[in-house]
Amino acid sequence: MTTNAFSSAPLLTLSGVNTFYGQAQVHFDLSINVARSHIVCLLGGNASGKSTTMKIILGLVKPRSGDVSFDGASLLGLTTPQIIRRGIASVPEARRLFADMSVRENILMGAFVRNDRDAVAQDLERMLALFPKLGQRLSQRAGSLSGGEQQMVAMARALMSRPRMIVMDEPTMGLSPLYVDRVLELIRTINQEGVSVFMVEQNASLALEIAHEAYVLQTGKIVLSGSARALKDDPRVRDAYLGGAEAA
């Protein structure tokens, strides 16, 4: 872990972010903090701007105004590989594995920005310890795995860059209930090793079970935020959440 792991300043900060796709504004003055070693969840329905938030953090979309900073330094102006080297990894929406590459190649793609081959090989072993099921699947086509297994690969892939924070886009989407629990458990395990998690979710009740803090995003604006425990009991979360579902 880094030297200032116990500093109280948040690890990731989005402040006053405004984003546009052409003429259409996606984010309105968005401000989010992710504290060190916390799980923070961004809730919202379809077209609320959740996935764009993730792309902003990774540098794939540039905001028109506002700042994104990680560990005290701004990420604006950095390329995606540079941002990954700073310690942010991602689990994309619908997992997005490289379907025709093997499971091993997929996991190793997560270490694409790293050049320390021996350490990468060790980390691969570590992943197989964390996700024992993947051991027998290493040389299979990633596209041939079940949805839950693919989610394991996507998470192993994200961990391969030795991130300090992982951003996840709807990690439970389309999984069977059995795997949903397993994935949530894994997120907790990863978090307990000191990795912060920023996850975007539609399923509020599931997300609030494991999150420390949460934000509710509606058509590009944060309408509610606070500790997960407080939000779980807040009637407005239900309303906001249902409002989002209605818009979908």
Return residues touching other proteins (CB under 8 A). Answer: 58, 60, 79-81, 84-85, 90, 92, 96-101, 105, 108-110, 112-113, 143, 157, 161
The nearer residue to other proteins, 54 or 216, going by C-beta atoms, is 54
Q: Which residues contact 59 (CB under 8 A, 6 or more apart)?
A: 75, 78, 79, 80, 82, 83
The helix (run of H) or strand (run of E) holding residue 85 is helix 80-86
CB of 165 to other proteins, least distance (A): 14
| CB neighbourhood size of 21 (10 A) | 9
The nearer residue to other proteins, 76 or 99, going by C-beta atoms, is 99
The nearer residue to other proteins, 47 or 113, going by C-beta atoms, is 113
The helix (run of H) or strand (run of E) holding residue 121 is helix 117-130
The rounded distance, in Å, linking the Cα atoms of 62 and 72 is 19
The nearer residue to other proteins, 20 or 28, going by C-beta atoms, is 20
CB of 70 to other proteins, least distance (A): 15
The nearer residue to other proteins, 33 or 80, going by C-beta atoms, is 80
CB of 150 to other proteins, least distance (A): 12
CB of 25 to other proteins, least distance (A): 19
Q: Dihedral sign, CA of 12, 83, 197, 7?
A: negative
The nearer residue to other proteins, 153 or 237, going by C-beta atoms, is 153
The rounded distance, in Å, linking the Cα atoms of 65 and 128 is 42
Contact 60, 103 (CB under 8 A): no
Any idea which residue has 């949460």 for tokens? Answer: 214
CB of 111 to other proteins, least distance (A): 9
154, two tokens: 């996507």
Any idea which residue has 């779980």 for tokens? Answer: 232
CB of 137 to other proteins, least distance (A): 18
DSSP 15: E
The helix (run of H) or strand (run of E) holding residue 245 is helix 235-247
CB of 9 to other proteins, least distance (A): 26
The nearer residue to other proteins, 110 or 244, going by C-beta atoms, is 110
E strands, 80-123, where? 88-91
